[in-house]
Amino acid sequence: MKLKNDEPLPAQFKKTSLKTTLGYFKYWLCLSAVMFATLTYLLSTAGIQ
């Protein structure tokens, strides 16, 4: 597509909000949260000093 001379140029990309970014990774983040919870539980029951 050719840009017309008087048209405003595309500025930088739109700001990406944290919500969008978190949304993109939501499944991965949930999985890591589950893993982290399991790890905490295991370590708390193992009696490591």
Partner 1 sequence: MLLIKNTKYYQSMTYDFLRIVVSTLLSFSAKLNNTIMRIKMKTETIRKTARRNFSERLNLAKPFIIKKHFLPLLKPYFLLIAGAVISLIIFSLTSLTLPYVLKIAIDDVLPNKNIRLLTVGIISIVLIFGIRLIFFYISHYLTYYTSQKILFDIRRKLFQHLQKLSVRFYQTHRTGKLISNVITDVGVIQQLISSTLINLAVHCFLIILVMICLFIINWQLALICLVVIPFHAANFLYFKKEIRKNSLVRQEKVSEISGNLAEILTGSTVVKSFAKEKTESKHFITDLRKLFDMNLTIVMQGVWSSTFADILVLIGRLIALGSGAWFVFEGHMSIGEFVCFYSYLGMLFPSIVQLSSLSQVIAQGSASMTRIGRLLEESVEVEDEKNPITTDSFKGNIEFKNVTFAYYGKAIIKDFSLNIKPGQSIAFVGQSGSGKSTIANLLVRFFDVTGGSIHIDGNDIRKYKMSNLRKNIGIVQQTPFLFSGTIFDNISYAKDGSSLEEVIEAAKKANIHEFIEEQEDKYDTVVGENGVNLSGGQRQRLSIARTLLKNPDILILDEATSALDNHSEKEVQKALEALMKGRTTITIAHRLSTIKNADSIIVLENGRIKQQGNHNELLSKDGPYKELYLLNQEGEHDETKK
Taking CA 36 as the corner, what is the angle to CA 34 and CA 29, rounded to the nearest 5 degrees?
Answer: 55
User: How many CA atoms does the CB half-sphere of 5 hold within 13 Å?
Assistant: 0
Of all helices (H) and strands (E), which one includes residue 23? Answer: helix 18-24
Verify binding: residue 31, partner 1, rule CB under 8 A: yes
Verify binding: residue 26, partner 1, rule CB under 8 A: no
Site string for partner 1, 4-23 (x = CB under 8 A): xxx--x--xx-xxxx--x--
Residues that bind partner 1 (CB under 8 A): 2, 4-6, 9, 12-13, 15-18, 21, 25, 28-29, 31-32, 35-36, 38-39, 42-43, 45-48
